[in-house]
Amino acid sequence: MARFIFITGGVVSSLGKGLASAALGALLQARGYSVRLRKLDPYLNVDPGTMSPFEHGEVFVTDDGAETDLDLGHYERFTGVAARKTDSVSSGRIYSNVLEKERRGDYLGKTIQVIPHVTNEIKDFISIGEDEVDFMLCEIGGTVGDIEGLPFFEAIRQFSQDKPRGQCLFMHLTLLPYIKASGELKTKPTQHSVKELRSIGLAPDILVCRSEGPIPVKEREKLALFCNVRPDSVIAAQDLSTIYDAPLAYHREGLDQAVLDAFQISPAPKPDLTKWEDVSDRIHNAEGEVKVAIVGKYTQLEDAYKSIAEALTHGGMANRVRVKVEWVDAEVFDTEDAAPHLEGFHAILVPGGFGERGTEGKIKAAQYAREHKVPYLGICLGMQMAVIEAARNAAGITEAGSEEFDHEAGKKRFEPVVYHLKEWVQGNHKVERKVGDDKGGTMRLGAYDAVLADGSKVAEVYGGANIEERHRHRYEVDIKYRDKLEKAGLNFSGMSPDGRLPEIVEWSDHPWFIGVQYHPELKSKPFEPHPLFRDFVRAAKDTSRLV
């Protein structure tokens, strides 16, 4: 039966709970334990799928088709454990489940209340698969004191009481602000956060304190005394130059040892951190630099493209180069020439997105990359824009566009080389969708197979003909334009197994120009870079030597 670690946060949000959870999971793995990580989010959206990237950053998609919080991306990247639908839940999903049961009559006429019905639903969720792993790490979103988080805190309090003594541990992440004027590190915000936590019945076993520098002994002792934890359970989480130093940094601080001590696991297996030492070495000892432009529409919030930025870093590590990413707002190209903004870059990446805003700029970026022979990777919408560019400028379909933009505008303006996907095969059954369906969870989501053409660039990159990748889209390139586009030189080099859905396109006369309908960034890891990103950065590296 699993031991449970509950990770909570206080003082301010975005301190790095997800990263701390992921790093701890990696350290426990390094000691030979199996782990699974979960995220419990207090917001009322059923999932983040319908949220704007400006609100919540990127949406991470699992193999089984769940749209989840971006922290699950950290969990996967650090542990290599593929996340599942059962690893992410929100208040919206919990309340939705409770209300469905009430409508069905499952509660036999009882009055439905937060305690016990909502808290029991949360506890049931936490328990899923508890016999599969040694450690289950559950991160609670938000901060202590948030009114919407109270049912989750109450649920984990009850859960720890239901389990045998010593099977649950509470880790609390707080901020230790440094006041420059007085030259002091302030412990009071952490003290207040722990006081708030204790007032709802939870006592932290381990304090992880985010700070700019090391925590002096005097402050550690003060925190231990006033927060009622052992001095060696006060862990400093210092600012790092790269997130991939986190497992080694937390190990030096003694986080994994503090966890094992709290669970009274002794003697504990020694950790094998060779993998993370190699990762750190590749980042800090790069042998060059390449510049990559990401031409997108959510560039004001880098978390909107979190997995892409990380996958580029992984590609850089595989090639022993540092990838310098610059965010380019696609809307700039709507009114200006793309060339001055894209000159000097060694590669161009156009990511996914929704809606028409900024798409003409993405089309111009694809055109620039094609005409100037700059390595290009188009992901999801980035592939569709490359196809529209090819249709307009190479295949003579001057009015080419996407049905998505006509639906948004409410009138027909384009010849739809990209159309609304109404049916597709998932496993052994057919899925059907209509334009007017609800937005949440109705896309082609999760892992699907693709077959790569013999002799194609992508088959060479992947080193095989069959792949499985994660999707998240409603619109698809129309296969009926294949002949015209292939005559113009844009090859359909990857297809769904039934041959109906284009998965990959590539220009035959270009050194490296690939568009993919899926999201390869979601499966990239620092110790296992995704083949497409590895080769894309290699192509950028080759370009940098020519400039």
- Please determine, for residue 422, whether its predicted confidence score (pLDDT) is greater than 80: no
In a shared domain, residues 306 and 215: no
**Active-site hit among 341, 346, 510, 519:** 519
Query: Which residue range is the domain that position 142 belongs to?
Result: 3-279
Q: Chain-wide mean pLDDT for the chain? A: 91
Q: Is residue 405 part of a domain?
A: yes
SS3 330: coil
Summarised one tens digit per residue, pLDDT across range 113-150 is 999 999 999 999 999 999 999 999 999 999 998 999 99
Same domain, 271 and 300: no
CATH (domain of 342): 3.40.50.880
Whether residue 91 is contained in a domain is answered as yes
Q: Which of 279, 298, 330 is the last residue of a domain?
A: 279
* pLDDT tens digits along 307-337: 999 999 999 999 999 999 999 988 888 778 8
**Tokens 């808290």 -> residue:** 119
Residue 366 lies in a domain: yes
Residue 429: predicted pLDDT: 60
521 catalytic residue (yes or no): yes
Whether the link from the prior residue into 116 is cis, omega within 30° of 0, is: yes
Same domain, residue pair 185 and 294: no
Asked, for residue 431, whether it belongs to a domain, the answer is no
The reply to whether 409 and 535 lie within a common domain is: yes
CATH number at residue 236: 3.40.50.300
pLDDT attached to residue 172? 97
Helix, coil or strand: residue 246: helix
* pLDDT the model gives residue 299: 65
pLDDT for position 335 = 79
> In this predicted structure, what is the pLDDT of residue 60?
92
Residue 360 domain-assigned?
yes
Q: What pLDDT band is residue 535 in, cutting at 50, 70 and 90? A: very high
Q: Which residue has the higher pLDDT, 470 or 421?
A: 470
Q: Could you tell me if 503 and 366 are in contact, meaning their C-beta atoms sit under 8 angstroms apart? A: no
Q: What is the reported pLDDT for 434?
A: 67
* Binding-site positions for ATP: 14-19, 71, 240
| Residue 44 structure tokens | 């009322």
519 catalytic residue (yes or no):
yes
User: Do 263 and 293 belong to one domain?
Assistant: no
Instruction: Say whether both 78 and 105 belong to one domain.
Output: yes
**Rounded CA gap, 295 and 378, in Å?**
10
Indicate which residue of 380, 403, 471, 506 is catalytic. Answer: 380
242, 317: one domain: no
The answer to whether residue 468 is domain-embedded is no
Domain-terminating residue out of 228, 248, 279: 279
Contact 311, 521 (CB under 8 A): yes
- Phi, psi (deg, nearest 5) at residue 500: -100, -25
Planar angle of CA 211, 215, 221, nearest 5 degrees: 130
Same domain, 366 and 218: no
| SS3 of residue 412 by DSSP | coil
Q: Is 148 exposed, middle or buried (0-12, 13-18, 19+ CB in 10 A)?
A: middle
As a dihedral over the C-alpha atoms of residue 513, residue 516, residue 521, residue 523, rounded to 10 degrees, the angle is -120
Q: How many domains does the chain have?
A: 2
Does residue 480 share a domain with residue 386? yes
Residue ranges for the known binding site for Mg(2+) are 71, 139
Report how far residue 141's alpha carbon sits from residue 118's, in angstroms, rounded to the nearest whole number: 17
- 118, 171: one domain: yes
Q: Which of 279, 300, 328 is the last residue of a domain?
A: 279
With a cut of 80, say whether residue 437 has pLDDT above it. Answer: no
Read off the tokens for 8: 């909570």
Tens-place pLDDT, residues 218-239:
999 999 999 999 999 999 999 9
Whether residue 547 is predicted with pLDDT greater than 50 in this model: the reply is no
Same domain (yes/no): 527, 378: yes
| Residue 227 sits in the same domain as residue 92 | yes
With helix as H, strand as E and coil as C, how does 10-56 read? CCCCCCCHHHHHHHHHHHHHHCCCCEEEEEEECCCCCCHHHCCHHHH
The more confidently predicted of residues 363 and 55 is 363
Strand runs labelled E in 104-253: 135-140, 168-175, 178-179, 184-185, 206-211, 234-238
**If pLDDT is split at 50, 70 and 90, which confidence band does 174 have?**
very high
For the residues 141-163, what does the mean pLDDT come to? 95
Active site residue 380: yes
Whole-angstrom CA distances from 358 to 201, 264, 352, 362, 415 are 49, 56, 11, 7, 19
Residue 370 lies in a domain: yes
Over range 143-160, report the average pLDDT. Answer: 95
Q: What is the pTM of this model?
A: 0.92
Residue 432 lies in a domain: no
Find the catalytic residue in 76, 117, 521, 530. Answer: 521
Residue 400: pLDDT over 50: yes
